[in-house]
Amino acid sequence: MKKQEYWTYLVLSLPVILLSIFLVYPVVSVIIQGLISETGTSFVDTLSAYRTQFTIAFTFIQATLSTVLALLVGLPGAMLLARLRFRGKSLVRALIIVPFVLPPIVVVVGFLQMFGSYGVIDSALMLLTQSSTSIMNLADGLVGIILAHTFYNAPLVMLLVSASMERLNPEIEESAEVLGADSFSRFRRITLPHIRPALAASAILTFLFCFMSFPIVLAFGNGVYRTIEVQIWNSFRWSDFGEASSLVLIQIIITITLAVSYIKLAKVSDNDSGPTTTIRTTTLDKYKNWEKSMILAYLVMILVLIGGPIVSIFRAAFFDPITHSYTLDGFSYLITAGATGGLNPLINSLFYGGLATLLSILIGIPLAYAHKSKSRGLPSLSSVMVLLPLGISSITVAYGLMTVIAVPTGLNINPWPIIVIAQTIIGLPFTARSIEIGLKSIDPAILDQADSLGASRLQRLIYVELPLLIPSILVGAVFAFAMAIGEMSATLFIALPQNYTLAVAIYDNLGVRRFVEAGASALILVAICVVAFLTMEKISEGSTGGTL
Applying CB under 8 A, the residues found at the interface with other proteins are 39, 49-51, 54, 117-118, 132-134, 218-219, 222-224, 234, 236-240, 339-340, 351, 355, 358, 399, 402-403, 407-408, 410, 412-414, 416, 462-463, 466-467, 492-493, 496-498, 500, 504, 507-508, 510-513
Beta bridge partners of 320: 325
Taking the CB of residue 248, how many other CB atoms lie within 10 A of it? 28
Using the minimum distance from each CB to other proteins, give the nearer residue, 377 or 467. 467
Q: Which is nearer to other proteins, 32 or 72 (CB)?
A: 32
Residues facing 325 on adjacent strands: 320
Name 297's Cβ contacts closer than 8 Å, sequence gap at least 6: none
Q: CB-wise, 273 or 414, nearer to other proteins?
A: 414
Cα separation of 537 and 544, whole Å? Answer: 7
Nearer to other proteins, 61 or 531 (CB): 61
Left if phi > 0, otherwise alpha if psi is -120 to 50, otherwise beta: which for 318? alpha
Supply the minimum distance, in Å, between the C-beta of residue 220 and other proteins.
10
Q: Parallel, antiparallel, or unpaired: how do β-strands 319-320 and 325-326 relate? A: antiparallel
| DSSP H or E run through 31 | helix 25-36
Nearer to other proteins, 155 or 330 (CB): 330
Strands in 374-502 per DSSP E: none
We find the least distance from the C-beta atom of residue 454 to other proteins, in angstroms, to be 17
Q: In whole angstroms, how close is the CB of 236 to other proteins at the nearest point?
A: 5
CB of 98 to other proteins, least distance (A): 25
Q: Which of 163, 162, 251, 156 is nearest to 211 (CA)?
A: 251
Which run of H or of E encompasses 523? helix 515-540
Q: Give the nearest distance from C-beta 407 to other proteins in angstroms.
A: 5
The DSSP call for residue 282 is B
Residue 408 or 454 having the CB closest to other proteins: 408
| Closer Cβ to other proteins, 237 or 538, answer by number | 237
What's the CA gap between 19 and 12, in Å, rounded?
12
Q: Least CB distance from residue 504 to other proteins, whole Å?
A: 6
State how far the Cα of 164 lies from the Cα of 152, in Å rounded to an integer.
20
Amino acid residing at 75? L
Q: Give the list of residues 6+ apart from residue 519 with CB closer than 8 angstroms, or none.
A: 109, 313, 314, 315, 316, 317, 318, 319, 330
**Which uninterrupted H or E stretch holds 239?**
none
Nearer to other proteins, 178 or 322 (CB): 322
